[in-house]
Amino acid sequence: MHVPRWRWTLILIVLLPLVWNCQKAPRVPVPEILSQTQRLPLLPNRQIRNIILFVGDGMGITQITSARIYAVGPDGRLTMDRFPITALVTTHSADQLVTDSAAGATAMATGVKTRNGMVGMSADSTAYLTILEAAQALDKATGLVATSSITHATPACFAAHVPNRKMEPEIALQLIQRRVNVLLGGGKKFFLPAGRKGGAREDNLDLLAMARERGYTVAETREEMEKAQGDFLLGLFAEEGLTTRRPEPTLAEMTQKALEILRNDMEGFFLMVEGSQIDWGSHQNDTDKTIRQLLLFDEAIKVAVDFAIKDLHTLIVITADHETGGMALEGGTLRGKNLDIDWTTHYHTGQSVPLFAFGPHALSFSGVMDNTDIPKRFAALWGFTDFPRPLAQTALP
């Protein structure tokens, strides 16, 4: 049957747009906040219920740059790279230009400088209120997560007060007495009497039994941690520092579990998460270990970002206590698998460290600041007045 030319023309006019639309069918738009490369947005300055502080121990700018190039290339972005606000933080202690972790963490916890080696105290040995203890005074839940011993310098400074960071058995006791809701990491030996296998306590106290009496669920494996319920969880997965390999939980999994528990508190929470072993790899001048630990740290940050995007009342701040190793990137390939790294020391350095902020009032953390400014700004955002202050001046629950 002969079809007139005008009818073919009409058919083409009708069908061509349909064919074109099929070829150019719009993809479902991905919100910017879910993109793996785009910058996270500035959120409205609404009330802050929750604060999550990430501390990359020993993490300097070169550690971040090297991990980025290795993992996603020079044009890619780690999760922390996507934070909308960045800053620099000075790190000197009260007695040294180059801080140690105890003095650095004490500054970030209490807002006061102290001497190297001291935990939660000023240089004159006065115990100072920490931002975690301030959160408890506001009826908020609290948590500490680390890949070191949970009694190590950085986590200890947020809930203990001792003159020497090596007093880990005493720190362990204070962590339980302080009733931090979530404690996850290594350091089981400091919770057990010396007579028990792997125990290191000379006072014969069994802090695992004490913790259970005080309402804690005690977990020693990843599976026990995942099944744990309730408001208090003590998870100890190694005698000292974690191996950061299976069957232990990853830092991201520990962070996820901490958030699962802490988010149930209607008043909000304070959580400190430490990527402890970035520092250890840098002390050893081990590039591969340093990069691996930083990427594990970044995975944990993504867990918190996913939570904060849904919650909209959570502020996340990422920083370091100091840089370690004097790491320098001198060359390599754009694909990042053959980086030319030089190290200038096996110890800490005095250079400023980066800070990243995301969430309500993130702009409060821009510019150049001192590490003592961090908890002061947290306290101000929570309306907690007269901070810093000696511990004796504050009635705690």
Per-residue model confidence as pLDDT tens for the chain (397 residues): 455 555 554 544 444 443 333 333 223 233 333 446 789 999 999 999 999 999 999 999 999 999 999 999 999 999 999 999 999 999 999 999 999 999 999 999 999 999 999 999 999 999 999 999 999 999 999 999 999 999 999 999 999 999 999 999 999 999 999 999 999 999 999 999 998 889 999 999 999 999 999 999 999 999 999 999 999 999 999 999 999 999 999 999 999 999 999 999 999 999 999 999 999 999 999 999 999 999 999 999 999 999 999 999 999 999 999 999 999 999 998 888 889 999 999 999 999 999 999 999 999 999 999 999 999 999 999 999 899 999 986 656 5
Domain boundaries, the chain: 42-393
Q: What is the homologous superfamily of the domain 42-393 according to CATH? A: Alkaline Phosphatase, subunit A (3.40.720.10)
Distance of alpha carbon 234 from its chain centroid, rounded? 18
Positions marked catalytic: 101
- Is 40 in contact with 83 (CB distance < 8 Å)? yes
Cis bond before residue 388 (omega within 30° of 0): yes
Cα–Cα distance for residue pair 255/364, rounded to 1 Å: 25
Spatial distance between the Cα atoms of 349 and 222, rounded to a whole number of angstroms:
35
Query: What are the backbone angles phi and psi of residue 167, rounded to the nearest 5°?
Result: -80, 55
How many CB atoms within 10 Å of residue 8?
10
